[in-house]
Structure formats: structure tokens, C-alpha cells
Chain A
């Protein structure tokens, strides 16, 4: 029998000072983070006269997709007026081989580092940590010389090679950490069964490491797509990736500034990593955290 007095769930006020402060803080923060995206979208859908008259937060009175078409097809990047599509396809041509090559090499490296104690593996590990954090600026010029010697400077191959090199440290560490969490007994059992380096890698490690490959792909796709520095230095004018072309479109000093086209172009450039982000959700968080944090 229940006694007199309180019973059941303690009543809680939904509108308490605590909740007002908590959600107030979160909503104000969310506004700061959403504002630029909103401004980008509405600006890209307005015509230039409307932009000149109104303010940047006003929703478009007359929605037009002309700025998007122009950004993609005919915006001027300084010398040419072929729009962002050139940069988009350049970026794709850089992205696909860079991602594939760097992940293939790094996964084998990481596997070797965590299971096969080879001579110098400690040194290798230290170099990778060093490589993951040093400023690129000290490596830029030597790499220019190396690529020139190889005849790869200002070519797609050159920029792909550079991306592969710079992706190596963080990716190798990522795979090493993942394989380090695999029970070493599994590896020992496979060795007792007579499997060698490659057999263990392909038949045992690969099938169980799909998640880490997804994480690595997310990391590399966003990283390489968003790169500016390597593209501008190593790719050569004809192969400029999308980020470089975008910057050339927006920050070119010639002509009248077309803010709507600029914003459409900016959105187009940000679209791919945003899509990757929205699709991958929590894996993205895991990916950047894993890639960046733990050695």
C-alpha cells in the first residue's frame, strides 16, 4: 500500500532556469553556426539587383538558379571563363587515385607496423608522428625539386604523388591503431596455421577492417578535396582543383563582383565534403577524432 506523500516520478518543470540557460546557449551557438550556411544559400538564389537592395539575411523574393548555372558553366577564373566544372573534374581526377593509392599503401604499412616487428619499426613510427605534425612549408620546395627531376611537376601525377605522401603519416597511424586493437592471438593463430604476411592481411585482417577503411576514406576524401596549397603549387594551371578555381573566381579583381555567383560557386565546392559528412554522420566524428588524436 502506498503511503501518503510523494510517489512515482518526481515532477520536473520543462521550463526551468536550468533548461532555459542550457537550450538558450545551444540555440545561440547553433545560430552562429547556421548563419553563414543560410546566407550562402539565400544569396546564391537571388539576382544581383535584389542583393544590392536588400540585406544578406532576407530570403529571396524571386528565386533564380541562374547564379548556379553561371558558377558551374561560365564564371571566369581569371584567364578562362569556363566555370567551376573544369575545377570539379580536375578535383575528381586528383581525388580518386590519391585516395585509393594512399589508403592501399597506408593499410599495409599500418598492418606491418602493428603485427610485424621489423627492424627500424620504432624509427618508422617516430618519423610518421613527425610527418603528421610538421608544417608543410618546410617540405614544399624540396618536393618541387623532386617532382621536377621526375618530370611530374605541374602534372596530375605530381599532385597525386604529393597527396599520397602527405596522407601517409596520419593514415598509417590510423591503421596501426586499428590493427593494434585486434587481438594478437588471432594473428598468432593464423601464423600457427601457416599463413604468411599477405595471406593474413588479405584473408583475416581486411575482412574485419571495413569500418576503418570507411573512416580512412572519409578522412582522405574531405582532406584532399579541401586542399588548396598543394593544388596551387604542384598541379599546374591546367589542372587546378576546385578550391583554387573557386578562389580565383571570387577573389579575382576584374569586373563587377557577382556575389550570387560567388556564393553558388562556394556552395558547389563545399557540396561534396558536406554530402560525405551528412551521409557518414557518426563515422565522420570517429574518423577525424581517430585520425587526429591518438598516436
Chain B
């Protein structure tokens, strides 16, 4: 079992990294060309656009899903009525696939029938909200759809974190006369640091992989304005039969994830061991 896991997860990754230094086209070939694939990769406008897009998408997705997710969790934690109903509503998109998510939003954002047209029908005839046709803003369509799918999950994680805080902390802060917002800001959020970090890592590693959503919602367009790295890999691997390029791109993705992952894994697991064996 260990050998299998080692072979597949480590062996295959290493194979991909290795062949990213070759000039493989439709089939892998051991003709090593050094960093040439990487040179071409970073010269490619499509790749650079992908990198820029994932930076925008990643930043927006992180900030808003963490921010909105936390606010929703705080709201849910106020002993509200219909808590289960609200939870169900916020979380159901997470059960849906990115394909379904992408197609729904493609329809909602449709220029001729969707939100734009609805608001024009009300009387704002010059209203412009056509993200899908805009080179500049198509990436934000992905953000909106991605947040719709994933924020409920962040909320659930945050709510679990809030609920795990000792109720006596809240009592103590009430006796001390500390207003609720200051308790959240200065006591609860610092206490939830591990939850935030873990959530961050999960969202981040999901962002790097984003592929289906692009395929379903924008197809990377208009033009190349909403391309993403994972789609670049797939297209060069299977569509354009340029394996070397695809593998170089995937290696860059792997490095990015490792940069996020290693410090976190180090923190998370070394801390835990310290606790359990102390």
C-alpha cells in the first residue's frame, strides 16, 4: 500500500516534473531541453493571462469567502430563528458540481434574458451588466459563481469554529462589559486563528485547481480573458498535443501549492504532535 501510494502520488509527480524539461509533443520523449518549456511558458500571453486571472480570482475568492463566510457564521451564531433553514440555503450549492454552478450562472448572467435585461426592463435602460461578454470583467463572473458555490462551506467551517469556543469566555466578557463586536475582534478571532489558517489552505488549494467552472461558465473567453492555469494544462496536454508545455505549466501549479502547503503542514502537524506527547 505504501509502495502504491509512493509510486502514484510521488512517482507520478516526479515524472511530470522530469518530463517538463523535455520537448515532448503528443507523446513523452526523453529529449531534454533544459528550461526551454518554462521560457516559452512565461513568454506565452495566454499563460500570463491565466496567472493574472488566477491571482484576481484567488484574491477575490479568499477575501470574500473568508469575510462573508465569517460574517454569515457570526450572524448564524446569534441564536437566530430558522437557523437550520438558513444553513441549508447557504450550503446547498456546495453539494453541486462546478459544471452545474457554471451553467446556472451562465444563464443568470445571460445578456439577453438575465439580470441585465431584467433591470433594463424595470426602466434603467442603459444598465450594463454583461460580465460574460466583457474581456475586462469576465473573470468576475467566475468569482461570483465560485463564491456562490463555496462560501457556504466556509461559513460552516467558521460556525463550527465559533461553536467550539468556550461559552464561559462569552460570559466572562459580558461580566467585563465588553461589547460583542470587541469580543469578536479582540478575543474570538484571535482564538480562531487555527480555523482561519486551515480554511485558508483549503480554499487556496481549491483555487489553484479551478477548471470545471471555467469550462462551464466562460470557456476561457471572451478570447483568452478568463483562462486559468488548470485549463492551460488540459488544453496543451490533450488539445494541442504539446505535452512539454502542459507539464511545465502543471509543475508551476504544483510548486505554488507546495509553497502554500508546506508551512501549513509544518505548523499543523508539528504543533499537534507537541500537544499529544507533552
Contact = CB atoms under 8 A, between A and B. Distances in A.
State yes or no: do A and B come from one complex.
yes
Given A26-B86, A266-B103, A226 B9 contact: no
A270 B71 contact: no
B257 A289 contact: no
Contacts of B99: 226, 228, 243, 246-247, 269
Q: Which of A25, A34, A39, A138 gathers the greatest number of chain B CB atoms within 10 Å?
A: A138
Contact of B95 (A32, A36, A123, A273): A273
A228 B97 contact: yes
Nearest to A108: B1
Given A56-B108, A243-B97, A26 B80 contact: yes
B15 interface: yes
Given A32-B148, A133-B261, A269-B97, A127 B113 contact: no
Interface string A244-265: 0011001100000001001100
B198 to A, nearest CB: 5
A135 B104 contact: no
A249 B11 CA distance: 37
Contact of A247 (B17, B103, B251, B269): B103
The SS class assigned to the A binding surface is helix
A239 interface: no
B155 to A, nearest CB: 9
Interface of B: 1-2, 5-6, 8-13, 15-17, 19, 28, 68, 71-72, 75-76, 78, 80, 84, 86-100, 103-108, 110, 113-115, 117-118, 121, 148, 152-153, 156-157, 160, 198-199, 201-202, 205, 208-209, 211-212, 215-216, 219, 229-230, 233-234, 237-238, 243, 246-247, 249-251, 253-254, 257-258, 261, 265, 268-269, 272
A-B pairs, top 8 by smallest CB distance, nearest first, are A226-B97, A142-B12, A277-B95, A137-B250, A131-B9, A228-B212, A273-B95, A138-B16
24 contacts: A22-B80, A23-B80, A25-B71, A26-B75, A29-B90, A30-B86, A35-B108, A124-B5, A127-B6, A139-B16, A141-B28, A141-B246, A168-B5, A226-B96, A233-B238, A259-B110, A263-B107, A266-B104, A277-B91, A278-B92, A285-B160, A289-B157, A293-B198, A294-B198
